[in-house]
Structure 1
Amino acid sequence: MNESIALMLFFSATVMAAGYVRGYGGFGFSMITVAALSLFLAPAQVVPVVLLLEVAASLFLLPGIWRLVDWPKLAWLLAGVVAGTPVGVWMLGNVSPAPMKMAVAVIIFMLALMLRQGFVVKRRLKRPETMAAGLASGILNGAAAIGGPPAILFFFSSPAGAAVSRASLIAFFLLTDILAAGFCIATSLMTVGHARQAAILALPMAAGLFLGRLAFIHTPETVFKKRVLLYLMILSLLTLVRSAKEFLT
């Protein structure tokens, strides 16, 4: 099989699987796609495409959950994101591919491990702490399209419940990814070629989103999340090994 065709099939399968996870839990798309695609491409090639797909995924999921969004918390979180995103985008354009891949792999592994072990914030965060979580999300989102975990930890530690947390995350991803995409366009890191690649991958992603929403009512949430996070940890280790070889050669 032609190598380019094999890669496209792998990318399509990855995006569909990530869409399935996103449709189920409202998060995880970027973590899966960046970890998998970074095995073959530099972050600067992967991140713009993932940002465009994330925006499309949020628009797909947004109807019906708008009124559940916790807008006050989201506003303070986004204030931190606005401050952190330019730093992340600068890192994306100025850090060489191999070290960036290694950093992304380590970040994904550690965050996935924390989430899989059930790490949560045990008290209600104040405004400065909320903004700090947003700052971390902005930097990670701009640099590697993995800004979700700090926000996930924040919202799912809230006493508001899973429905409100999931809705707030969907709105969060829509707004932050639009912001990060805007910075990428302004710094010429996002091109028409990235848009074409995202358009090609949009169909398998939509299929995954649809199937994920259907599976939501049939699979225990804790079991599903543990499996997904284990998959992320394995992918991040593979990425780290491959990137370390590139860095040393």
Structure 2
Amino acid sequence: MPDILSQALTLEGLWLIVLGAVLSGIVRGFSGFGTALIFIPLAGQVVPPIWVITILVVMDMFGPAPNLPRAWRDGAAAQVGWLLLGAVVCLPLGLAILVRVSPEAFRYAVSLLAIAAPIVLSLGLRYHGPMSRPLLTGTGGASGFLGGVAGLPGPPVILLYMAGPNPPALIRANTMLYLYAYDLMLLALLGLQGRLEAVPVVLGLLMALPNIAGNILGARVFHPDRARVYRGAAYAITIAAAISGLPLWD
């Protein structure tokens, strides 16, 4: 264990992983999403794709935990359940592709998706229909596939809720509950497939502390009547992290 801890603490570029943990925690705390969109482009510059996903999912077990009771009160658990049903079907397919792609291709895919997500969200697309079970399940399926192949389960779910007639508190709560449950599911799948390595697991545990601090700080500054300000800040941080993660800067 001391040797594994030493490997984790002496990792070249560790500061980028710490920065990703803090920034993604702050944005997650005040918006309910953003962890993967911000953390993966930054951490992907330092460690291979499967390590990035492992660090993220282990870290994410702790960071949002202080905000889950509030999210449970504000959210709609039944909707989250249908999203997860779609995700559990498509996640293994995305993960099977992830383990076969090169780190460079992974970084390009993640950064371009992370840049595209805020742009699409800012277009103000609207959906006035009901949150039906097929719609939720299909959205969860798209989320599961993207989460497996690029570590980005959030955009399909976030886009659906942002486009619908939902109050900011419910958007924040449902996305937070879904992404936390998704992380539990992904962690279990990685364990069953024997893809959990010791060093990234330890890194994930270490990153939990700065991520928790970021989540608490983000939650403290959150006010539903200023949702547009927080959304703009989340978009700006996401795009900046995504641009920095493009391999062309290497």
Name the TM-score, length of structure 1 as normaliser: 0.87
Task: Tell me how far 1:222 sits from its aligned partner.
Answer: 1.3
In structure 2, C-alpha distance between the alignment counterparts of 1:41 and 1:5, rounded to whole Å: 9
AA at the equivalent of 2:62: A
Taking every aligned residue pair, what percent have the same amino acid on both sides? 24
Q: Which of 127, 135, 144 pairs up with 2:133? A: 127
AA at the equivalent of 2:232: K
Residue 61, structure 1, aligned to residue 61, structure 2: no
Q: Structure 1 residues 234-243 or 191-200, which shifts more? A: 234-243
Q: Which of 201, 206, 210 pairs up with 1:204? A: 210
Q: Which of 135, 146, 150 pairs up with 2:152? A: 146
In structure 2, C-alpha distance between the alignment counterparts of 1:199 and 1:57, rounded to whole Å: 10
Residue 86, structure 1, aligned to residue 67, structure 2: no
Task: Tell me how far 1:192 sits from its aligned partner.
Answer: 2.4
Task: Tell me how far 1:198 sits from its aligned partner.
Answer: 1.1
In structure 2, C-alpha distance between the alignment counterparts of 1:72 and 1:205, rounded to whole Å: 28
In structure 1, C-alpha distance between the alignment counterparts of 2:153 and 2:21, rounded to whole Å: 18
CA contact (8 A) 1:58 1:173 kept: no
Distance 1:37 1:70, change over 3 A: same
Alpha-carbon RMSD across the aligned residues, in angstroms, is 2.4
Name the TM-score, length of structure 2 as normaliser: 0.87
Task: Tell me how far 1:204 sits from its aligned partner.
Answer: 0.9
Q: 1:167 — aligned with what?
A: 173
In structure 2, C-alpha distance between the alignment counterparts of 1:121 and 1:27, rounded to whole Å: 20
Distance 1:210 1:106, change over 3 A: same
How many residues are aligned here? Answer: 242
Task: Tell me how far 1:241 sits from its aligned partner.
Answer: 4.1
Q: 1:116 — aligned with what?
A: 122
Distance 1:219 1:239, change over 3 A: farther
In structure 1, C-alpha distance between the alignment counterparts of 2:125 and 2:205, rounded to whole Å: 36
Runs of at least 5 residues in structure 2 that lack an aligned partner in the other structure:
1-8
CA contact (8 A) 1:185 1:191 kept: no
